[in-house]
A and B are shown apart, each in its own frame.
Chain A
Amino acid sequence: MATTPAPAQDRSVVRTLLRLWPYVRPVRARLFTAAFVAILASCVGLVIPLVLKWMVDGPVAGRDPAGVWLGALYLLLLGFAEALLFGLRRWLVARPLSRVEASMRAALYRHLQRLPVSFHDRWASGQLLSRGTTDLMLLRMFLAFPLTFLLVNGVTILVGVIIMLLQDWTLGLVILGPAVPLLVTCVFFEKRYATAARRAQDQVGDLTTVVEESVLGIRIIKGFGRHRSQARAFRELSHELRGTELRKARLLATIWGVIVTLPEVAIGAALVVGAVQVADGDLSAGTLVAFLSTALALRWPVESIGFLLAMTQEAATATERYFEVMDEQTEEAGPAPESVPADPRDRGLRFHDVTFRYPDAPPGSPPVLRDINLHIRPGESMALVGTTGSGKTTLTALVPRLYEVTSGRITLDGVDITTLPREALRAKVAVAFEEPTLFSATVGDNVLMGAGDTAGPDALERALAVAQADFVHDLPQGTATQVGEQGLSLSGGQRQRIALARAVVGQPEFLVLDDPLSALDVHTEAAVEAALRQVLADTTALIVAHRPSTVLLADRVALLSGGRIAAVGTHHELLRTNAEYAYLMSGAESGRQEEAR
């Protein structure tokens, strides 16, 4: 499982959360206003007991009906004010908070789309998805409640304490007694809670990955009748998650327990001390009622601090997880290389001393590709042949810069590809991948995404004709038929032909085909080859091939062996002169190459 380990170093919750500022900034006015309104509302809530005190001590005790009416009117007005302020606060933040969540999600999606492919090789998409869903929901909730209410409750407690101190400073001090032990407990437990929260969030990501794989690999699971063992693996993971969640709950329970007990003890003490003072005549009954009323009104703000801090911890963890991904460098970043003037003799696609090692490969491991020098002349098509796993696909991935060369350079018509904007480069180079991925869109859109916006139905028809993909017209809605997630409802050969049509639809200058005909039957293959020859006549192409029939599409062949280009020549030349090539093409042992010819 691709669990990303929790960073061991001590982190500052506040510093982590401050990173949210750029996303919160656009709605800061609303958010601050809302916080201010919330403070106002709580203050109103705190004034209400004072009015009560005034009524009990004044008009009620003094039997003054007019005063009673006035007091009731005040109460009513304050009540209205409180209600409207409560509503106003929520109204102020409703849309902005959804916007913050959405903008963070959009930013994550944007960023992920532009991260190097090697990043995606490393990260299970379940972990990425859980960052884009549950983590962002936690952040929205944090902005909605803990952020505001830590402030509001803090202010409420402060104001409440001041009011209490003004009413009776001895009682006030009694109430303040447990503040320090409360704080210590909170700090102690919140730290441990943060660790548990991080583990739980990572485990959710792992669980997501298992669910996703269970669908993507459903044929294998069904084919081997392994759905029970798959369910067992899922159960183990979800049990682990349950364990972590229970640990979180136990920590939270302890915090809550302490937070409920200590203030209550203080209130009890204040009650006894207050009662003694009332008995001694040092304090009016009304003051004591008001005092205790204030104290009780503060109970919720104090108690809530426990779970507000817990939510804050979870939000900090979510932020950390979010920025783990956002801090990765996108392709666009990095220094712009000095541009080398185009060499007119360098027409076509050319590899100059290209060496490549995967960026995450263990240091010291041999490079996948070494000192590749290869020149594909304009309009020429070159087949790339090599044993399974020799790095052919890797080599093709370097041309559209899905990976960056470790050293050396690749030029298109003499221009170093690293000096071209990626958009422009990828517009020049069209690719058909070994695994033909189709997107949730119509067949037509899937093909046309290989061309610029100007390509119309004619281009579509031409491309479909080249790829011998006439079958699309027999689909329920022709080219307007939706193909599902990954185009699952089409056969491998059908998807491969659509992917091929996508590669040729834009009539690209450079074409990279990675084993484009592997899933086709012989007849279709022959027809596609015939049509492709037309396309390839004036296209510079690099074609990964496993079979002689595909090789014959190309003008020349390059043999990739041990990470180097071992030989270049026409099919027949190589067949004659290169034992390894002959073996690859015929499967016969090298001694029998003459026979294979």
Chain B
Amino acid sequence: MTAATTAPAGGKPDDRRPAPGDPFDQDVLPTPPGATAALLRSLLAPMKARVAVTTLLLLLQQAVVQAGPLLVAYAIDRAVPAFRAQDHGPLVAVGAGYLGCALAAGALQWAFIAAAARVNQDVLLDLRGRIFRHAQALSVDFHERYTSGRLISRSTTDVESLRELLDEGLQELVTVVLSFVYISAMLLWLDLGLGGVAVASMVPLYALVRLYQRRAARVYRARSTAIAAVIVKFVETMNGIRPVRAFRREAANDTDFGRLNARHERTNGDALLEMARYVTGSRLVANTAVAAIVLWGAYRVADGTLALGVLAAAVLYLRRLYDPIDRLGMFLNSYQSAAASLEKIAGLLAQTPSVPEPVSPRPLPPARSEHPGREVVFDGVSFGYRTGGEVLPRFDLTLPAGQTVAVVGSTGAGKSTLAKLLARFYDPSPSSQLRSSRGDPYAGRVLLDGVDLRDLAVPDLRRGVVMVTQEAFLFSGTVADNIAIGRPEATRAEMEQAAKEIGAHDFISALPDGYDTDVRKRGGRISAGQRQLVAFARALLADPAVLILDEATSSLDVPGERAVQRAMATVLKGRTAVVIAHRLSTVEIADRVLVMEHGRIVEDGEPAELIAGTGRFAQLHRAWRDSLA
């Protein structure tokens, strides 16, 4: 073995190598054109009526608030002279009006915030749910590439930026538009000329807004990618904290994380600077306009073509006309940030599950005997990973109902792939060689009692086939919760029965709170072997027709494994079972053995028959006997 072999296999005509610029690597899944806007629309569509009511509340609130200067003008121009003439009526009216406006403004503000929060929270609830449900519907191979960190980023920080848009942005936008329309109307009504100038000043402001929008879009997209990368690194470190410590990765990780963090810092700063430029520009335009209008207005007062009170009111309105410009900036800010996030979310939602649920599912035929087992047929099945890796060339295989089949072979021989096809984690697909040479799309089918797995509804499929893997992950919650995943409606007694059968009951009872021990809390430490027992109990509880055990006893000690096997002898009776194990002790309970090598089934027969022979299995079996020493 030389160093040359470690170089990338560049010379090989190899289509398994991920293309440069893999969208998964760079966290840029393609978003179909218009999908972002469509997503936002579909989120808001069910809220139409409530959005309308909320907008109406805001409209009224603004109307009430904007009445202030009008009352001031009225007070100075009419009520004061009237008061001088001993007519107190108009001034009382002004006072009452102002009081009424104040109370109405407060009440409407209250109502608006409460109503808007309802709409916003419902939209966010919907979006969070959609991301989660969609991610759950996507297949295992998608998750292997997308990473949990990115999914977390999508459903936390990206949802958060939409929340900012909804919480502040929409209110800002509505306020801005409303107050602009309202104040412009007021100014035009007060004086056509002054109002006209004010409206004209909006043209350069609009240009400024467009410019900002374009620049900000780019910055925010970069920022969303940057924070996702930070999260991926963070999650990976925390989940692998033991090896991180044991191999002294802390300093190297600090450097890596520092790099990702600095990229986020930079994009974040860029975003804030864009905002600074926008605010300066818009203020300059606005303040220049104010000065110009006041100058002109003053001249006209001097001419006598404009009343002093009108100028006073106009000036008050003018200041307000430009106030919302900053807030428009904030809106654009949240909008761009949310748009970048929504784009990423839309890209995730646009992924189609490679293992889709059937549109019109077929039911399983009724059981043929009193035994739960069902027949499994691999009919011309072939499989190649999309990313390359191991491949199963086309093969046929029939497992009669009730048979226990042991699958043996070296690591990477395709045993797990066989199991995953049967559990429908993957669907058959033409292997890459087949694809490139013949372009034959037919990849075969996996049948359960004659029904293609692809036609089975999920509940039927999972009553039919259950797989226990060597990675015995435990979810937050109690031990009982974790077992109940097998069959949530099971009673406690059934659950304990399953645990007893598999030999897990003793250790579970010895935990501080027994079955109710929280696996993440004090005293809830559960060893790898014990986790496998929990996984077994879960599978037993599910009571499937076909049970697949993929290296499910690898972390058990010999007595533990024996206990499991004794249990299996009764549990598997009548069920169809596929058992993958390196420890050939499993074979003792098998009716049939398949030996796999390089994706092919090279031997197939009864254990005793194969052991007596001279083939691969006979060798393996001898080696195993020896290893028992």
* Contact partner, A82, options B2, B287, B469, Cβ 8 Å: B287
Q: Are A224 and B485 in contact (CB-based, < 8 A)?
A: yes
In the complex, residue of chain B having the shortest beta-carbon distance to the beta carbon of A278:
B80
Between A289, A300, A360, A400, the greatest number of chain B beta carbons within 10 A of the residue's beta carbon is seen for A289
Q: Given A271-B95, A522-B583, output 20 extra A-B contacts at Cβ < 8 Å.
A: A2-B520, A55-B298, A71-B294, A72-B295, A90-B275, A95-B272, A109-B237, A133-B157, A214-B132, A223-B466, A252-B113, A252-B117, A261-B105, A265-B99, A271-B98, A279-B84, A279-B91, A449-B249, A485-B149, A546-B557
Q: Are A75 and B290 in contact (CB-based, < 8 A)?
A: yes
- Bound-state CA distance A84–B149 (Å) is 41
Q: How many residues of B contact A (CB 8 A)?
A: 197
Given known pairs A279-B83, A400-B246, A521-B411, the reply for A480 and B8 (CB within 8 Å) is yes
Q: Are B101 and A268 in contact (CB-based, < 8 A)?
A: yes
Nearest CB of chain A from residue B411's CB, rounded to whole Å: 4
Binary per-residue interface labels of chain A (445-485) against chain B in the complex, 1 for a CB within 8 Å, 0 otherwise: 00001100000011011001100001101001111101011
* Contact partner, A548, options B155, B243, B628, Cβ 8 Å: B628
Nearest CB of chain A from residue B390's CB, rounded to whole Å: 8
Spot the interface stretch: A6-14, A97-105, A412-420.
A97-105
Nearest CB of chain A from residue B616's CB, rounded to whole Å: 10
A339 proximal to B (CB < 8 A):
no
Selected A-B contacts with CB under 8 Å, 17 pairs:
A55-B294, A60-B308, A71-B294, A86-B280, A204-B156, A208-B152, A208-B156, A218-B143, A227-B137, A249-B118, A258-B106, A268-B71, A279-B83, A388-B533, A426-B247, A471-B412, A548-B629
Q: Are B117 and A245 in contact (CB-based, < 8 A)?
A: yes
In the complex, residue of chain A having the shortest beta-carbon distance to the beta carbon of B410:
A521
Binary per-residue interface labels of chain A (255-288) against chain B in the complex, 1 for a CB within 8 Å, 0 otherwise: 0111011101101110110111011000001001
Given known pairs A60-B301, A524-B410, the reply for A221 and B627 (CB within 8 Å) is no
* Contact partner, B412, options A91, A228, A493, A518, Cβ 8 Å: A493
In the complex, residue of chain A having the shortest beta-carbon distance to the beta carbon of B518:
A2
A409 proximal to B (CB < 8 A):
no
B185 proximal to A (CB < 8 A):
no
A534 proximal to B (CB < 8 A):
no
Residues from chain A with Cβ under 8 Å of B554 in the complex: 492, 518-519
Q: Are A485 and B236 in contact (CB-based, < 8 A)?
A: yes
* Contact partner, A522, options B412, B467, B530, B627, Cβ 8 Å: B627
- Bound-state CA distance A289–B308 (Å) is 11
Q: Are A79 and B291 in contact (CB-based, < 8 A)?
A: yes
In the complex, residue of chain A having the shortest beta-carbon distance to the beta carbon of B511:
A389
- Bound-state CA distance A279–B442 (Å) is 95
Spot the interface stretch: B193-201, B261-269, B338-346, B358-366.
B261-269
Residues from chain A with Cβ under 8 Å of B240 in the complex: 437, 439, 486
B98-139 interface (Cβ within 8 A of A): 98-99, 101-103, 105-107, 109-114, 116-118, 121-122, 124-125, 128-129, 132-133, 135-137, 139
Q: Are A98 and B629 in contact (CB-based, < 8 A)?
A: no
A584 proximal to B (CB < 8 A):
yes
A52 proximal to B (CB < 8 A):
yes
Nearest CB of chain A from residue B487's CB, rounded to whole Å: 8
Q: Are A289 and B144 in contact (CB-based, < 8 A)?
A: no
In the complex, residue of chain B having the shortest beta-carbon distance to the beta carbon of A514:
B528
Spot the interface stretch: B26-34, B47-55, B471-479.
B471-479
Residues from chain B with Cβ under 8 Å of A258 in the complex: 106
B560 proximal to A (CB < 8 A):
yes
A19 proximal to B (CB < 8 A):
no
Between B243, B525, B529, the greatest number of chain A beta carbons within 10 A of the residue's beta carbon is seen for B243
* Contact partner, A249, options B17, B113, B529, Cβ 8 Å: B113
In the complex, residue of chain B having the shortest beta-carbon distance to the beta carbon of A400:
B246
Q: Are A212 and B152 in contact (CB-based, < 8 A)?
A: yes
- Bound-state CA distance A227–B424 (Å) is 14
Q: Are A83 and B280 in contact (CB-based, < 8 A)?
A: yes
Binary per-residue interface labels of chain B (520-553) against chain A in the complex, 1 for a CB within 8 Å, 0 otherwise: 1111011111100101001000100000000100
In the complex, residue of chain A having the shortest beta-carbon distance to the beta carbon of B98:
A268
Binary per-residue interface labels of chain A (12-50) against chain B in the complex, 1 for a CB within 8 Å, 0 otherwise: 000000000000000000000000000000000000110
Spot the interface stretch: B250-258, B494-502, B570-578, B602-610.
B250-258
* Contact partner, A220, options B129, B485, B488, B556, Cβ 8 Å: B485
Given known pairs A98-B269, A300-B323, A440-B236, the reply for A129 and B109 (CB within 8 Å) is no
Q: Are A275 and B76 in contact (CB-based, < 8 A)?
A: yes
Q: Are B245 and A56 in contact (CB-based, < 8 A)?
A: no
Residues from chain A with Cβ under 8 Å of B245 in the complex: 113, 117, 400, 402, 426
CB within 8 Å: A-B pair count: 596
A574 proximal to B (CB < 8 A):
no
B486 proximal to A (CB < 8 A):
yes
In the complex, residue of chain A having the shortest beta-carbon distance to the beta carbon of B129:
A235
Q: Are B140 and A219 in contact (CB-based, < 8 A)?
A: yes
In the complex, residue of chain A having the shortest beta-carbon distance to the beta carbon of B25:
A482
- Bound-state CA distance A251–B317 (Å) is 31
Q: Are A68 and B389 in contact (CB-based, < 8 A)?
A: no
- Bound-state CA distance A480–B408 (Å) is 30
Residues from chain A with Cβ under 8 Å of B230 in the complex: 105, 132-133
* Contact partner, A256, options B84, B110, B129, B140, Cβ 8 Å: B110
Residues from chain B with Cβ under 8 Å of A423 in the complex: 248
Residues from chain A with Cβ under 8 Å of B233 in the complex: 440
Q: Are A218 and B234 in contact (CB-based, < 8 A)?
A: no
Binary per-residue interface labels of chain B (137-181) against chain A in the complex, 1 for a CB within 8 Å, 0 otherwise: 101100111011101100111001000000000000000000000
In the complex, residue of chain A having the shortest beta-carbon distance to the beta carbon of B14:
A476
- Bound-state CA distance A486–B469 (Å) is 16
Q: Are A69 and B312 in contact (CB-based, < 8 A)?
A: no
- Bound-state CA distance A220–B558 (Å) is 25
Between B488, B582, B583, the greatest number of chain A beta carbons within 10 A of the residue's beta carbon is seen for B582
* Contact partner, B129, options A84, A101, A234, A274, Cβ 8 Å: A234
Given known pairs A68-B295, A90-B279, A222-B140, the reply for A260 and B288 (CB within 8 Å) is no
Nearest CB of chain A from residue B377's CB, rounded to whole Å: 21
A314 proximal to B (CB < 8 A):
no
A216 proximal to B (CB < 8 A):
yes
Q: Are B6 and A264 in contact (CB-based, < 8 A)?
A: no
In the complex, residue of chain A having the shortest beta-carbon distance to the beta carbon of B17:
A476
* Contact partner, B113, options A79, A222, A256, A465, Cβ 8 Å: A256
Residues from chain B with Cβ under 8 Å of A113 in the complex: 237, 241, 244-245, 250, 253-254
Nearest CB of chain A from residue B164's CB, rounded to whole Å: 9
Spot the interface stretch: B205-213, B396-404, B454-462.
B454-462
A537 proximal to B (CB < 8 A):
no
Residues from chain A with Cβ under 8 Å of B295 in the complex: 68-69, 71-72, 75
Shortest 5 CB-CB distances between A and B: which pairs? A79-B287, A87-B280, A268-B98, A261-B106, A225-B462
Q: Are A434 and B528 in contact (CB-based, < 8 A)?
A: yes
Q: Are A402 and B242 in contact (CB-based, < 8 A)?
A: yes
Between B91, B99, B277, B554, the greatest number of chain A beta carbons within 10 A of the residue's beta carbon is seen for B554
B53-82 interface (Cβ within 8 A of A): 68-69, 71-72, 75-76, 79-81
Residues from chain A with Cβ under 8 Å of B101 in the complex: 264, 268
A125 proximal to B (CB < 8 A):
yes
A525 proximal to B (CB < 8 A):
yes
* Contact partner, A546, options B114, B423, B558, Cβ 8 Å: B558
Nearest CB of chain A from residue B532's CB, rounded to whole Å: 9
Q: Are B507 and A128 in contact (CB-based, < 8 A)?
A: no
Q: Are A460 and B136 in contact (CB-based, < 8 A)?
A: no
Nearest CB of chain A from residue B517's CB, rounded to whole Å: 11
A334 proximal to B (CB < 8 A):
no
* Contact partner, A90, options B97, B112, B276, Cβ 8 Å: B276
Q: Are A94 and B276 in contact (CB-based, < 8 A)?
A: yes
Q: Are B522 and A362 in contact (CB-based, < 8 A)?
A: yes
Q: Are A434 and B6 in contact (CB-based, < 8 A)?
A: no
* Contact partner, B261, options A55, A106, A471, A548, Cβ 8 Å: A106
- Bound-state CA distance A426–B107 (Å) is 65
Spot the interface stretch: A154-162, A189-197, A291-299, A374-382.
A291-299
Residues from chain A with Cβ under 8 Å of B81 in the complex: 279
- Bound-state CA distance A423–B192 (Å) is 78
